[in-house]
Amino acid sequence: MSVTQRHSKPAPDFPRPYTTVDVVIFTIAQDRLNVLLVQRPGHEDDPFPGLWALPGGFVNVDLDADLQACAARKLKEKTGVDSPYLEQLGSWGSALRDPRGWSATHVYFALIPAHELQLTKGANAADVAWFEVDTLLARPTLAFDHGCILQAAVERLRSKVEYTSLPAFLLSEPFTLPQLQQVYETVLGRNVDKSGFRTRMLAANFLIEAGHVEGTSNRPAMGYRLADRSGPVVFPRTFSPRGH
């Protein structure tokens, strides 16, 4: 089915920029923040041949009802994941970012639990891989302006982690408070106090107890699920208000 419609009077026919959507897909693996990248085809006349890039592509006016749906489609194509946390990051558009001409990309970022996906055997599965974010930021050699975009995404994620429950979307349910704390510390890049952390999380009232989870060889921890998977809760204060 098509989502296009009959036009009324067409708009004045300026040359139109390319319209694309890219997705910054984060996960945690081995206590590191990782991002999914796709290798561009090696043909000489493609832009940035062989370089790694964020998954994305042109908006398809026949398939995509809106930008968010387009981002969800691209995410599903690359990861098989269906409805993760998906938030708009912003848009980047200029005359020079794509050698083929004026283009604007609408960027979303997604959080998916580690191990919740198998990189699909579909279309171009071989060209898809996880990369450690810190490594990428140290030597950004991505296609287009995707290095800048990744940096902006990481900054947004780090800043929201200071005062929201976002990191919970990086864990599969049920998860324990120590696991959640570990994710916070990984993303923030510093340790947080255990007792304060627990007080805040439980006071924010977004966790539902889900029975004990067996540990390896010590006291079992309480498991939790999210009361509402549609979005994070906002804490009244940031972590470490005194500035670390």
Best CA proximity match to 182, nearest among 144, 209, 221: 221
Say which DSSP state 74 is in: H
x/- mask, DNA, residues 16-55, rule CB under 7 A, reads: ----------------------------------------
Beta-strand runs (E) in 11-61: 18-29, 32-39, 52-53, 56-58
How many of the other CB atoms lie within 10 Å of CB of 84? Answer: 21
Answer yes or no whether residue 234 interacts with DNA by CB under 7 A: no
Smallest gap from residue 111 Cβ to DNA (A): 22
Q: Which is nearer to DNA, 65 or 203 (CB)?
A: 203
Nearest CA among 116, 118, 155 for reference residue 28 = 116
**Is residue 49 involved in binding a copy of itself (CB under 8 A)?**
no
Range 163-182, binding DNA (CB under 7 A): 176-178
Residue 121 is a binding residue for a copy of itself (CB under 8 A): no
Is 186 a binding residue for a copy of itself by CB under 8 A? The answer is no
Rounded to whole angstroms, how far apart are CA atoms 160 and 221?
26
- In whole angstroms, give the CA distance from residue 183 to residue 167: 6
Output 160 or 225, the one with its CB closest to a copy of itself: 160
The C-alpha atoms of residue 94 and residue 102 are separated, in whole angstroms, by: 6
As measured in angstroms, the least distance from the Cβ of 243 to DNA is 8
Identified binder of DNA from the candidate list 193, 208, 211, 228, rule CB under 7 A = 193
Q: Within a 10 A sphere around the Cβ of 55, how many other Cβ atoms?
A: 23
Task: Return the residues of window 118-147 that contact DNA according to CB under 7 A.
Answer: none
Among left, alpha and beta (phi > 0; psi -120 to 50; other), residue 3 is alpha
In the complex, what is the shortest distance from the CB of residue 189 to a copy of itself, in angstroms, rounded to a whole number?
A: 17
Nearest to 103 by CA among 72, 75, 145: 145
Half-sphere exposure at residue 69, Cβ-oriented, CA atoms within 13 angstroms: 9
Q: Which listed range, 2-10, 120-128, 199-207, 208-216, lies at the site for a copy of itself (CB under 8 A)?
A: 2-10
Q: What does the binding site for DNA look like in residue numbers (CB under 7 A)?
A: 176-178, 192-196, 198-200, 212, 215, 217-222, 235, 237, 239-242
- Which positions lie near a copy of itself, rule CB under 8 A? 3-5, 7-12, 14-19, 45-47, 58-62, 64-67, 88, 90-96, 98-102, 104, 106, 163, 236-238, 241-243
